Amino acid sequence: MKKSYVYTKGGDAGKTSLIGGVRVSKSEKQLEAYGTIDELNSNLGLLHSLLTNKEDRLFIFKIQHQLFSIGAYLATDFQNVKPTDKIQSVSKEEIEELELVIDTIDNKLPQLKSFIIPGGLTASSVAHVCRTVCRRAERNIVALTLDIDISDDLLAYINRLSDYLFVLSRKINIEGQENEQLWKNCWK
């Protein structure tokens, strides 16, 4: 019978291999960081399937590819392996591209006067889920920086990505003629 490449049984004891071959516990901060990037990427796949705007779909798909590179970077054994040119985290140009897209979308949105309650159209709600998973990924990567020197550009990119997902969620609702639900302080 042909060997399956889907499962190897190598992780059955709670360990996995980083890029470079070293075996580590699946509870390591490094795995939490790249695992959350994987979770974000999966949620972005769901968002992509719900989007109707071709430009938004293409940009989300581009981000998904970038997140695979980030995941590979974070899955590297930094003590024994130097990430290659093919496994670099993020360039300043990619951060600037995100900022340009954020500004372009934000300039077309009504000015915010309050916090927004996540919800509205399904795609907007999923964009908010992606945003919060992105924020968790950012926290996990920041925790990892206590042990490993992580690219400042990677942190900046993940921070901007959550901002992009926020403005995208607003854009989706507004273009879909769904009213934004503003937070009202009920303790006043």
Domain ranges of the chain: 15-175
**Which H or E element spans position 59?**
helix 54-74
Q: Residue 167: name the closest of 122, 133, 130 by CA.
A: 130
Q: Residue 16: what are its φ and ψ, rounded to 5°?
A: -145, 170
d(CA 49, CA 54): 11
Confidence tier at 119 by pLDDT (50, 70, 90): very high
Reading the block at residue 103, the tokens are 């500004």
Q: What is the pLDDT of residue 4?
A: 66
15-175 has which CATH code? 1.20.1200.10
Give 1-25 pLDDT, tens digit per residue: 666 677 776 666 676 666 777 776 5
**DSSP-based three-state secondary structure for 118:** coil
Q: What is the pLDDT of residue 43?
A: 98
